[in-house]
Amino acid sequence: MRKLSLKNTNDLTVLEAFQDFKDKCSIKNLSKETIRLYESQFSTFHRFLNDDTLLISEITIKTVDSFILELRSDNHSCNDITINSYLRGIRAFLYYCMDMDYLPQFKISIPKVDKKLKETYTDEELKVLLKKPNMKTCTFSEYKIWVFSNYLLATGNRISTALDLKIEDIDFTNGLIQLNHTKNRTSQLIPLSQTLATILKEYLKYRKGTSQDYVFCNTYGYKGDIRTYQDMLARYNRKRAVEKTSAHLYRHTFAKKWILNGGDIFRLQKILGHSDLAVVKEYIQMFGNDLSVDFDKFNPLDRTTTLRTNQKLKMVL
């Protein structure tokens, strides 16, 4: 069992300080995915420092600024969104060190960036991807990814959440799905659509398994791996001449369709599992151009006014 560092804080190297930070993350019960992300971000930062003996007390705001410039250089050519992602991780680490008096306090600001429209699947692509394969000739793997694609579009789940789903988590009687693995570590219930219920009932007849088994399994019936499912989804999409291959695009597509179909953002927030409504509001801003579709049909002024465009007006002067 690894013990926490007992060295004098003035003697801690950057690497030792980060190990303390990781230990603290584990104590706080942060998810493995979050800790792995911190590790990846720190690895890039540590390579930039290029000095295993560098003390954490020697890190300054100039060090952080130089790191940003390095990310923007030809060696990395990172865009602003990627740089901000790195910066958030390194800031969390360095702020921890400041709280522990490993180094002097200084502020690390996250630059604002223009958010691009999130890519989604088009209606034409969805028709191709959601077309059921020939059950007499297709493999179980192809059929499974077709079901998986339908599930992602119908729920807006992250791929990690979908792969954590067990058969017992699907309540066909009450039309509910219980999600036990979410980004914010909170279990939640979401509605089960009738179309998805029909698809899953058929799928489970082929998949079989007990209530404790995972819905989307690997070849041996165990929990599916994220990378493996991403690769299978990519092959599935390309086979149907769809170049977009990300599972997360289904989440964006779900949010976009929800908004365009008149769904309220409060329920969208709950279904997507966002703790902050501000994140959901970003979808509205990003899909702004699409919100003009049928604008007159839903606009309250156009729905309530009786004035016709060809009507002559008599105005009293």
Question: CA angle, corner 48, sides to 45 and 49, nearest 5?
Answer: 90
Model pLDDT, residue 202: 96
Q: What is the pLDDT of residue 277?
A: 75
Measure the N-to-C terminal CA separation of the chain; round to a whole number of Å. Answer: 89
Q: What is the predicted pLDDT for the residue at 307? A: 46
Spatial separation of the C-alpha atoms in residues 174 and 197, rounded to whole Å:
11
Centre a 10 Å sphere on the Cβ of residue 156 and count the other Cβ atoms it contains: 21
Per-residue pLDDT of the chain (317 residues; tens, 9 = 90+): 444 554 556 689 999 999 999 999 999 988 888 899 999 999 999 999 999 999 999 999 999 999 999 999 988 888 888 899 999 999 999 999 999 999 999 999 988 776 666 788 999 999 999 999 999 999 999 999 999 999 999 999 999 999 999 999 999 999 999 998 766 667 889 999 999 999 999 999 999 999 999 999 998 889 999 999 999 999 999 999 999 999 999 999 998 888 888 788 888 888 888 777 777 777 766 665 565 555 555 555 555 555 444 555 455 54
Secondary structure string (H, E, C) spanning 105-123: CCCCCCCCCCCCCCCCCCH
d(CA 160, CA 171): 20
Which sign, positive or negative, has the C-alpha torsion 247, 273, 186, 1? positive
H and E: helices and strands count for the chain: 14, 3
pLDDT at 275: 72
